[in-house]
């Protein structure tokens, strides 16, 4: 195990806040009801009947009026913070500010930066930046192979010692089955989850969107869903053989969900994530060739979307991950086929999912919150709790507030959000991460006092 | 109509209006002086990001016959090679206030994107493998001249459908005009889901004899290196339109340039069934009609509508008077126009 704290940054002044008469909901604690929650010294100090608790002198009181929902702070195991090397898209500060605005109390950053996060000294220096700049705690995954080249393993043991939470070549698949097998064997020494971007490039090469009726009509080369699902099945088999621990990133299609279900049924130690955009959008949304709809894996067809929702409900898919992938305006303001893959997602994830899944009755709020926080334990990190004595990782949400995504700009440095312009419901008003106030919505005072 | 971006944006009436207009312009091409002053003082910018002599010169000729000024801008050897983005190129060239930009790019949707960045009328002269709407319009025009009507005709589009913007525009345009479209070719080059455009799919030419029109697509040599088909020889043996496969009453079309001996045998190219040179000829008059429709057509129709409201006696307003060529002013531009 690592010799240093896996999550770093986000340590501000401990919050001193009384959240009066809020609807506190923590699915793991079986908690869903009106109460007062006192945050003090960076911890949930006390939970009591509505109106029963008093704030200490000088502490802030926010009145939830029995209406505002207090949730455990979300955890995103898959974001791109772009530091080092691509700070024109995002950096650790803007990326974690975006996360805090979305109700997140922790994120894991991907190593496909420039240079690639593939050595301990580099990891150390990025963690130093995070310690100073991150608004919320950040963990880092290191790459599985040096430079993401798929040819040589990174010094995984040293990286784990230096704080790598896990390993991934995200953005690219580990093409060689032999290489993945070696990494899984080595995992016995160094620990750490191997997070896999699944894509058979002999099937996906040249493609810019999902293969189907829409790609046929647009004349854009399609990526078939089997490019992902065949690799999920292959790697589940390798993980099973080596008794390794793998996490499948951004599942996008029905056949991948089925492959994960088979692996879990067989007792293989696999987990999986899905993004809000794959749960809520389809390749029909690509028809207008808006480059914000271009991501990897691509938006798929409606039956795939339904299978992803069902997979998330059933638990075949363990958690939601945004795959927050910021790109600069000039990079995205080009013809669709030229544009880089990726959408931002941290600031809209909760509201988009609340609007698209909870409001129509496809999923209960409690289950959604469970899936928005489940990423942490998958990587061996503590899960946020609303319980007396627990560290304060909290999101206060107005479930009735409707807003147009992006109407007030973004905390992220980039604006390539696939939900921009859509009316969403469920605004995050306050985020407390690692005991400190990380985000405060500008409308909070109006509803709070 | 502000732009011509996709056949999808055109209903049957709009296609017929452009074809009818092209028929009127065909008379101009037969004159000794092949020029009308319809677009005098207007500027047409040809912006080509792909090598193209045929389409570009066809547009150039069309614009010149309408008396427009033409500027050609080819991406090779230009600021584009210095890394200028499409947006910046368009904004820069827009400073010259072109009335229309004819745009050819290797990227789907680029024409629509450009239409949001500048005030000029945009004509899509090919956006990646997506669409090539003026090709489809000239093909409709050519077929109407040959067959009279396309309604109910069976049209087979044969070859590399996957990489063909011509195929996509023509599937839509032929269907809009009442034809039944079948696409045929190697399964590796028929995109999954294309049938949702309303066409039938065949992987052999066994039923080709049922077609009234055979539209062969160009088989590009680079598809070999990408192993879409095992060899040109095998492609030709399975899909080449030759004297054995082409019936005497069938019409043969091809968007050019032809690979003799690959998708077409030499004999059928030279056969009376082939309308390939007629297609090239149609290119100019149809593109004249498109430019006219975009830059003067609606103004002319409005002018006529005003004139008709006033009892048909008065002259069209200044815009209509100035822009309508004599032959058309006499016939009345409102005839085909349903505003």
pLDDT value at residue B298: 62
pLDDT value at residue B302: 53
**A-chain residues within 8 Å CB-CB of B105?**
335
CATH of B134-279, one of 3.40.50.1370, 1.10.10.10, 2.40.37.10, 3.40.50.800: 3.40.50.1370
Tell whether A9 is covered by a domain. Answer: no
In Å, what is the CA distance from B139 to each residue of A68, A86, B144, B177, B280? 63, 48, 8, 11, 9
Tell whether A226 is covered by a domain. Answer: yes
Interface test with B, best of A216, A284, A329 (most B CBs within 10 A): A216
pLDDT tens-digit profile of B131-151? 999 999 999 999 999 999 999
Q: How many domains does chain A have?
A: 2
A446 touches chain B (CB under 8 A): no
pLDDT value at residue B76: 74
pLDDT tens-digit profile of A346-360? 999 999 999 999 999
Residue A227 C-alpha, separation from nearest chain B C-alpha, in angstroms: 15
The answer to whether the Cβ–Cβ distance between A219 and B165 falls below 8 Å is yes
**A160 Cα distance to chain centroid:** 21
Q: Is B122 helix (H, G, I), strand (E, B) or coil?
A: strand
Interface test with B, best of A209, A214, A217, A221 (most B CBs within 10 A): A217
Residues of chain A predicted below pLDDT 50: 1-2, 446-449
> Do A361 and A398 fall into the same domain?
no
Of B204-213, B257-266, B314-323, the range with the lowest mean pLDDT is B314-323
> Do A79 and A164 fall into the same domain?
yes
> Do A423 and A313 fall into the same domain?
no
CB-based contact A133:A9 (threshold 8 Å): yes
pLDDT tens-digit profile of A75-111? 999 999 999 999 999 999 999 999 999 999 999 999 9
pLDDT tens-digit profile of A7-50? 999 988 999 999 999 999 999 999 999 999 999 999 999 999 99
CATH number for A421: 2.30.40.10
Domain that holds residue A108: 74-378
Tell whether A431 is covered by a domain. Answer: yes
Q: Is the pLDDT of residue B107 over 60?
A: yes
Tell whether A5 is covered by a domain. Answer: no
Query: Pick from A212, A330, A337: which is nearest to B128 by CB?
Result: A337
> Do A176 and A88 fall into the same domain?
yes
The answer to whether the Cβ–Cβ distance between B128 and A335 falls below 8 Å is yes
> Do A327 and A363 fall into the same domain?
yes
Catalytic choice (A323, A393, A398, A441): A323
In Å, what is the CA distance from A282 to each residue of A182, A305, A418? 36, 7, 11
> Do A297 and A353 fall into the same domain?
yes
B311 burial (CB, 10 Å; 0-12 / 13-18 / 19+) is exposed
- The DSSP result for A45-108, as a single string, is EEEESTT---PPTT-EEEE-TTTSEEEEPEEEEEE---TTT-TTT--HHHHHHHHHHTTEEEEE
Q: Which of A378, A404, A422 is the last residue of a domain?
A: A378
Q: Is the pLDDT of residue B25 over 80?
A: yes
In Å, what is the CA distance from B100 to each residue of A109, B4, B16, B130? 47, 10, 22, 21
Q: Is the pLDDT of residue B321 over 60?
A: no
> Do A44 and A81 fall into the same domain?
no
The residue length of chain B stands at 339
> Do A324 and A411 fall into the same domain?
no
> Do A357 and A433 fall into the same domain?
no
Cis peptide before A229 (omega within 30 of 0): no
> Do A420 and A350 fall into the same domain?
no
> Do A228 and A336 fall into the same domain?
yes
Task: Locate the chain A residue with the closest alpha carbon to B130.
Answer: A219
pLDDT value at residue B63: 97
Task: Locate the chain B residue with the closest alpha carbon to A301.
Answer: B193
Look up the pTM and report it: 0.92
A435 burial (CB, 10 Å; 0-12 / 13-18 / 19+) is buried
Q: Can you read off the two tokens belonging to residue A303? A: 């039956």
CB-based contact A161:A33 (threshold 8 Å): no
Q: Can you read off the two tokens belonging to residue B20? A: 């009818």
> Could you give the CA distance from residue A120 to residue A371 in angstroms, rounded to a whole number?
31
> Do A178 and A215 fall into the same domain?
yes
Report ipTM for this prediction.
Answer: 0.89
The answer to whether the Cβ–Cβ distance between B193 and A333 falls below 8 Å is no
Verify whether residue A323 is a known catalytic residue: yes
CATH number for A169: 3.20.20.140
Tell whether A2 is covered by a domain. Answer: no
């Amino acid at each position: 195990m690592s010799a240093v704290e896996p999550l770093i940054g986000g340590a501000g002044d401990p919050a001193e806040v009384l959240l009066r008469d809020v609807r506190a909901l923590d699915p793991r604690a079986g908690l869903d009801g009106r109460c007062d929650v006192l945050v003090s010294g960076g911890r949930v100090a006390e939970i009591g009947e509505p109106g029963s608790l008093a704030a200490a002198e000088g502490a802030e009181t926010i009145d939830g009026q029995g209406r505002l929902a207090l949730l455990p702070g979300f955890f995103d195991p898959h974001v791109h913070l772009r530091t080092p090397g691509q700070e024109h898209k995002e950096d650790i500060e803007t990326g974690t500010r975006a996360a805090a605005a979305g109700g997140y109390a922790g994120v894991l950053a991907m190593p496909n930066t420039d240079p690639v996060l593939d050595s301990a000294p580099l990891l150390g220096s990025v963690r130093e930046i995070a310690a100073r700049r991150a608004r919320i705690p950040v963990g880092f995954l290191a790459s599985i192979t040096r430079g993401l080249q798929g040819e040589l393993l990174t010094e995984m043991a040293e990286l784990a010692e230096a704080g790598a939470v896990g390993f991934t070549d995200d953005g690219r698949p580990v093409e060689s089955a032999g290489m993945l097998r070696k990494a899984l064997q080595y995992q016995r020494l160094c620990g750490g989850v191997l997070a896999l971007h699944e894509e058979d490039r002999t099937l996906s090469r040249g493609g810019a969107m999902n293969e189907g009726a829409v790609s046929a009509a647009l004349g854009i080369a399609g990526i078939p869903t089997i490019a992902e699902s065949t690799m999920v099945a292959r790697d589940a088999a390798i993980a099973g053989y080596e008794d390794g621990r793998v996490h499948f990133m951004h599942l996008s299609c029905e056949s991948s969900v089925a492959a994960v279900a088979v692996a879990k049924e067989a007792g293989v130690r696999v987990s999986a994530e899905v993004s809000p955009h794959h749960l809520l959008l389809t390749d029909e949304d690509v028809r207008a060739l808006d480059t914000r709809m271009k991501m990897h894996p691509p938006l798929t067809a409606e039956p795939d979307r339904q299978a992803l929702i069902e997979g998330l409900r059933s638990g075949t898919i363990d958690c939601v991950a945004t795959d927050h992938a910021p790109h600069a305006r000039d990079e995205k303001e080009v013809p669709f086929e030229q544009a880089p893959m990726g959408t931002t997602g941290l600031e809209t994830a909760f509201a988009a999912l609340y609007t698209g899944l909870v409001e129509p009755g496809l999923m209960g709020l409690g289950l959604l919150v469970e899936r928005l926080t489940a990423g942490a334990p998958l990587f061996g990190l503590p899960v946020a709790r609303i319980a007396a004595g627990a560290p304060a990782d909290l999101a206060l949400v107005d479930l009735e507030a409707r807003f147009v995504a992006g109407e007030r700009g973004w905390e992220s440095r980039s604006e390539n959000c696939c939900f921009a312009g859509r009316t969403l419901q469920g605004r995050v008003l306050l985020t407390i991460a690692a005991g400190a106030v990380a985000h405060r919505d500008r409308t909070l005072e109006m509803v709070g006092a | 109509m502000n732009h011509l971006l996709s056949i999808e944006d055109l209903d049957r009436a709009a296609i017929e209006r452009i074809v009818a207009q092209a028929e009127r312009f065909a008379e101009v091409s037969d004159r000794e002086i092949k020029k009308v002053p319809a677009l005098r003082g207007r500027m047409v910018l040809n912006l080509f990001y792909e090598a193209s002599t045929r389409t570009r010169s066809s547009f150039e000729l069309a614009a010149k016959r309408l008396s427009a000024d033409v500027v050609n801008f080819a991406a090779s050897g230009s600021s584009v090679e210095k890394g200028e983005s499409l947006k910046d190129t368009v904004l820069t060239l827009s400073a010259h206030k072109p009335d229309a930009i004819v745009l050819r790019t290797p990227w789907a949707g680029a024409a629509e994107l450009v239409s949001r960045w500048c005030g000029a009328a945009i004509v899509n002269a090919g956006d990646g493998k997506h669409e090539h709407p003026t090709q489809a319009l000239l093909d409709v025009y050519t077929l109407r001249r040959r067959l009279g009507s396309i309604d109910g005709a069976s049209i087979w589009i044969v070859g590399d459908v996957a990489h063909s913007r011509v195929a996509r525009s023509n599937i839509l345009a032929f269907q809009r005009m009442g034809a039944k479209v079948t696409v045929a070719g190697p399964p590796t080059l028929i995109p999954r889901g294309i049938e949702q455009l309303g066409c039938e799919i065949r992987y052999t030419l066994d039923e080709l004899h049922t077609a009234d029109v055979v539209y062969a697509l160009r088989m590009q040599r680079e598809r070999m290196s990408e192993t879409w088909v095992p060899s040109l020889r095998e492609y030709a043996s399975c899909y080449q339109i030759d004297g054995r496969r082409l019936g005497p009453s069938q019409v043969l079309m091809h968007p050019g340039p032809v690979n003799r001996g690959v998708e077409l045998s030499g004999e059928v190219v030279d056969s009376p069934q082939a309308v390939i040179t007629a297609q090239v000829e149609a290119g100019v008059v149809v593109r004249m009609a498109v430019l006219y429709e975009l830059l003067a057509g609606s103004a002319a129709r409005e002018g006529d509508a005003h004139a008709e409201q006033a009892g048909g006696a008065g002259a069209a307003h200044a815009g209509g008077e100035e822009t309508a060529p004599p032959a058309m002013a006499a016939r009345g531009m409102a005839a085909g126009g349903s505003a």
